[in-house]
Each structure stands twice: as C-alpha cells, then as structure tokens.
Amino acid sequence: MIELRKITHDNWTKVAGLKLAEGQENFVAPNLYSLAEAYVDTTNNDDPPMPFAIYSNDELVGFAMMEFCELDEDEMLYEKYGDKSTYNFFRFMIDERHQGRGLGREAMVKILEFLKTFPQGKADSISLSYEPTNETARKLYSSLGFAETGHLMDGEMVARLGL
C-alpha cells in the first residue's frame, strides 16, 4: 500500500539518498536539490511546496513534490485552457531498486487523489512536465488522463489534467 508522508528529521537524508536508474539522471533533479528548493520557497513566501516521501508497506520507495499556483493571464495554461490556477506537479521519482513493480503508477494515483482534495485551494488543473525522450513518463501520465499541451517549458513537454 502506497502512502505519502511528510519529509521529517527522521527521513530527509534517506529521501535525499534515493537514486534513479542508470540513464535516468537527466529526467528529474536530485532529491537533495528539490528539498533545498522547497526550503528556499518556504522561507521566501513563494508558492508553498508540498514535498512527500513515498512509502510502500513502510519502506521508502520514492519522492514527489508539487505546488499550488495562481496563474497570470499571459501564462500558457491560462491562455490556452482558461486555467486560473493549477497544481504543478514538478518532481516525481521512484528509487532504482523499486522500479518496474508498478509502484510509480500506484504512487501517481495516490498523488492525484490527494491533489483532487484541493489541499491548498481550488484549481482548474494539474500540470506537469517531462523530458520528451522519457517514454516511460509519457505513457504513465497519458494513461492517467494527462494530455500533452504541445508546449515546451525549459525543454520539457508540459501535460495537463483538467479538474
């Protein structure tokens, strides 16, 4: 059973130590970078990040981070879809030792269930991005209802799930 748990003094170094499989290093930022980014966002009153450790049956297997964003009128999701706000899902990884067992899909379902409770406010969509060469991510996100927008952001394909 997948659980999303807060990052704590007890688990943050283990989360930072999770690793991607060889060849996936360019698909997602290192977890230590993401945790530092969350700290900086929090201390500067930016969009409040929501970092989570992903556990399966009490074993740490991955990491995810998302944020609630109010969108400006000149942003693509606002212009193209009329979204005034989105949950931006911008970090997701399953440790190399736990890949290929369906845990990524299970974790994504749990994360989507959580975001659909609107933990930081009502949103029009959930958005994410991924490297265009990451076929595994493309297939997973598409199977969960995300549609590519045709827009690249920092070289990554943006996909959207309407709420």
Per-residue pLDDT of the chain (163 residues; tens, 9 = 90+): 899 999 999 998 998 888 887 877 777 777 777 877 888 888 887 778 989 999 999 999 999 999 999 999 989 999 999 999 999 988 899 998 998 899 999 999 999 999 999 999 999 999 999 988 888 889 999 999 999 999 988 888 999 999 9
Full domain range(s) for residue 106: 2-162
The DSSP symbol for 101 reads: S
- pLDDT of res. 96: 87
> How far apart, in whole angstroms, are the C-alpha atoms of residue 112 and residue 126?
8
Burial of residue 153 (CB within 10 Å: 0-12, 13-18, 19+) is: exposed
Q: Indicate the number of domains in the chain.
A: 1
Task: Show the beta-strand stretches assigned E in the chain.
Answer: 2-6, 49-56, 59-70, 85-94, 125-130, 147-153, 156-162
pTM of the model: 0.88
**Domain at 70, CATH number:** 3.40.630.30
Task: Report the C-alpha gap between 152 and 91 in whole angstroms.
Answer: 17
